[in-house]
Chains A and B, each alone.
Chain A
Amino acid sequence: MILAIETSCDDTCAAVIDRSGLILSNVISSQGIHDRYGGVVPEIAARHHLELVDVAIEDALEQADVGLGDIRLVAATQGPGLVGALLIGLSEAKAIAAARNLPLAPVDHLQGHVAANFLGPEPFEPPFLCLIASGGHTLLAHVEDRFGFTVLGSTLDDAAGEAFDKGARMLGLGYPGGPALQRLAADGDPTAFKFPTAEGVDGLDFSFAGVKTSLLYALRDNPDAPRQDLAASYQAAIVEQLARRTEKALEQTGIDRLAVGGGVAANGPLRERLARIGVTLHVPPRELCTDNAAMIASAARYVTPLLPGAYLDLDAYATGQRAL
């Protein structure tokens, strides 16, 4: 049994899985408090993590119907993410493991998103490409086995989820903007405006600066244009960019299996667009796409665990341990 903790952003998460990758519990405590600030505030996120994390861990154990005595490995996200937030989960994990004389697996958050696909009862087996798109990251990962991945492309500026949030703000929608923008776009014409899809960006990298600027100009130049058309066109451009880069990566690698991860993967039009590519598509359930601890536990199975004593000085990292 593996106990995992994930506190890299604003969700306080704890989960228990078994060695085969079956989820026994997956507790996600969303803080909700950040909406009023128009974005995640690191200091406030960290304060809430400290208040919520013990309860999340106890809930995860209780829902899994296991005690700490059943746990054989403790895992935690080490990075990338907000360091002050990461340190809560990592400190908890280190102390629990030390008190129980258990090994500890430090997990890379992005590897966690990839490993969400390895959870049971029907894991998606490598090789495959994984498109990870959320408010914090956007990248294409080439997953050759369960132990790691190589980055084929990543965003040069904003993450896709950030682009959704910023577009939503320009359209006068609240935070978080992704879902609100998607709702507004549902009644709009995605071909009403032609927004750029970063065709000028070489290789498999992403860029959302252009589409953002285009929305700004469109709003300025067409003050009476229906908002739903602007939203639909804006969303279509983001989806199209994600899908086209993914298609290109599939072609280049000759791989015909695709998985997704991250909160943006829950976006309906993106899922529909990816399904039309014609390769085998694996979309984990929504609660495994957004940040969660079950995916960290899943990844922990393929990390060489640190023995008691070897992790006491472990620190969190903010950005890419990996080449991003």
Chain B
Amino acid sequence: MSNVVLAFDTATSSTAVALSGTAIAHTAELRDDPIAGQRPRHAQALLGLARNLLEDEGLTFADVDRIVVGTGPGGFTGLRIGLATARALALGSGAEIVGVSTLRTLERPAREAAGDGQAVVAILDARRGEVFAEARRGIDLVLEPAALTPARLAELTIAAGASAADPWLGVGDGAVRFRSILEPAGIAIPADDSPLHRVSATVLSELGARATAVPRAEVLPDYLRLPDAEITRRARSDP
């Protein structure tokens, strides 16, 4: 494991940053969570939060050995700010870089909270009435990551066996937002203020600590959705 690991995720409206590694006594996390309706502050918050964590340890950006970045899916602009920052920090300092799916980061603590054999579905608000979601039972993927409407997700979970008697555990800002559609589909959703709904940079750093580093250019966002203009263009050329 690396001496100094800086991990951050900007795929949701939150900016979450954690500092860990063998040179750090206790993993520390700082976050900026805009309240509902507020604009995300990734561009303004990300590097400042990271600097504060580093300064507390008497370190600078140059001391970071490994950068772990959330690759989404999530808000397009936020994702790109996180990835551009991660790649440029790595370029500037020579740190290794690792990308980790934001849905996996969300799932990980929920799996520990889930009952034996209970499926966990990670659900991020994708705006425009859609969610990004994937589901696992243990480590087995039972629902491929996809952008879909909450109603479609509800159909899929019911078809896959979720029910009031055997509910799946649903977490993430998308689960909170579409609770009224998802709960009747056999998805149990913790209270709105449960930390399980937030993407934790501490969990991200754990997932990324042992992963194999990759070349910077290979760390790309997982958009899971085409740009609107491309959807329109394809619809036009392929009626």
**Is the CB–CB distance between A309 and B51 below 8 Å?**
yes
**Is the CB–CB distance between A84 and B80 below 8 Å?**
yes
**Is the CB–CB distance between A43 and B228 below 8 Å?**
yes
Which residues of B42-94 are within 8 A (CB) of A? 43-45, 47-48, 51, 60-62, 64, 76-77, 80-81, 83-89, 91-93
Given the known A-B contacts A54-B216, A96-B91, A100-B92, are A313 and B48 also in contact in the complex, defined by CB atoms under 8 Å? yes
- Is A307 an interface residue when CB atoms closer than 8 A count as contact? no
Q: How many residues of A contact B (CB 8 A)?
A: 37
The chain A residue with its CB closest to the CB of B95 is A99
**Is the CB–CB distance between A50 and B80 below 8 Å?**
yes
Distance in angstroms from B50 CB to nearest chain A CB is 8
The CA-CA distance from A96 to B62 in the complex, in Å, is: 10
The chain A residue with its CB closest to the CB of B84 is A91
Which residues of A53-68 are within 8 A (CB) of B? 53-55, 57-58, 68
**Is the CB–CB distance between B47 and A94 below 8 Å?**
yes
Contact with A along B210-239 (1 / 0, CB 8 A): 000000110011010001111001000000
Residues of A within 8 Å of B221, CB to CB, are 50
**Is the CB–CB distance between A99 and B48 below 8 Å?**
no
Distance in angstroms from A5 CB to nearest chain B CB is 9
Contact with B along A24-48 (1 / 0, CB 8 A): 0000000000001100010110110
Distance in angstroms from B40 CB to nearest chain A CB is 11
Residues of B within 8 Å of A129, CB to CB, are none
**Is the CB–CB distance between A95 and B233 below 8 Å?**
no
Distance in angstroms from A249 CB to nearest chain B CB is 37
**Is the CB–CB distance between B92 and A96 below 8 Å?**
yes
Residues of A within 8 Å of B87, CB to CB, are 54, 92, 95
Which residues of A76-107 are within 8 A (CB) of B? 83-84, 87-88, 90-101
Chief secondary structure at chain A's binding surface? helix
Within the complex, which residue of B43, B61, B88 is in contact with A316, where a contact is CB–CB below 8 Å?
B43
Distance in angstroms from B238 CB to nearest chain A CB is 14
The CA-CA distance from A99 to B91 in the complex, in Å, is: 8
- Chain B interface category by residue count: 35 or more
Which residues of A263-284 are within 8 A (CB) of B? none
Contact with A along B15-43 (1 / 0, CB 8 A): 00000000000000000000000000001
- Is A51 an interface residue when CB atoms closer than 8 A count as contact? yes
Distance in angstroms from B2 CB to nearest chain A CB is 16
**Is the CB–CB distance between A87 and B62 below 8 Å?**
no
The CA-CA distance from A37 to B236 in the complex, in Å, is: 11
Contact with B along A228-239 (1 / 0, CB 8 A): 000000000000
Contact with B along A298-318 (1 / 0, CB 8 A): 000000000001001111100
**Is the CB–CB distance between A84 and B88 below 8 Å?**
no
Within the complex, which residue of B81, B89, B93 is in contact with A87, where a contact is CB–CB below 8 Å?
B81
**Is the CB–CB distance between B229 and A41 below 8 Å?**
yes
Residues of A within 8 Å of B76, CB to CB, are 43, 46-47, 84
Within the complex, which residue of A37, A57, A312 is in contact with B233, where a contact is CB–CB below 8 Å?
A37
Residues of B within 8 Å of A98, CB to CB, are 47, 51, 61, 89, 92
Distance in angstroms from A66 CB to nearest chain B CB is 14
**Is the CB–CB distance between B48 and A46 below 8 Å?**
no
Residues of A within 8 Å of B233, CB to CB, are 36-37
Given the known A-B contacts A46-B76, A87-B77, are A95 and B227 also in contact in the complex, defined by CB atoms under 8 Å? no
Given the known A-B contacts A54-B216, A100-B92, are A46 and B80 also in contact in the complex, defined by CB atoms under 8 Å? yes
Which residues of B84-113 are within 8 A (CB) of A? 84-89, 91-93, 95
Distance in angstroms from B43 CB to nearest chain A CB is 5
The CA-CA distance from A58 to B87 in the complex, in Å, is: 12
Taking each of A41, A50, A55, A91, which has the highest tally of chain B beta carbons within 10 Å of its own beta carbon? Answer: A91
Taking each of A43, A53, A55, A99, which has the highest tally of chain B beta carbons within 10 Å of its own beta carbon? Answer: A99
For the complex of A and B, the 3 pairs showing the least CB-CB separation, nearest first, are: A99-B92, A95-B88, A312-B47
> Which residues of A are at the interface with B, using a C-beta cutoff of 8 A?
36-37, 41, 43-44, 46-47, 50-51, 53-55, 57-58, 68, 83-84, 87-88, 90-101, 309, 312-316
For this complex, 8 residue pairs linking A to B, each with C-beta atoms less than 8 Å apart, are: A68-B91, A83-B77, A94-B47, A95-B92, A98-B92, A309-B51, A313-B44, A314-B44
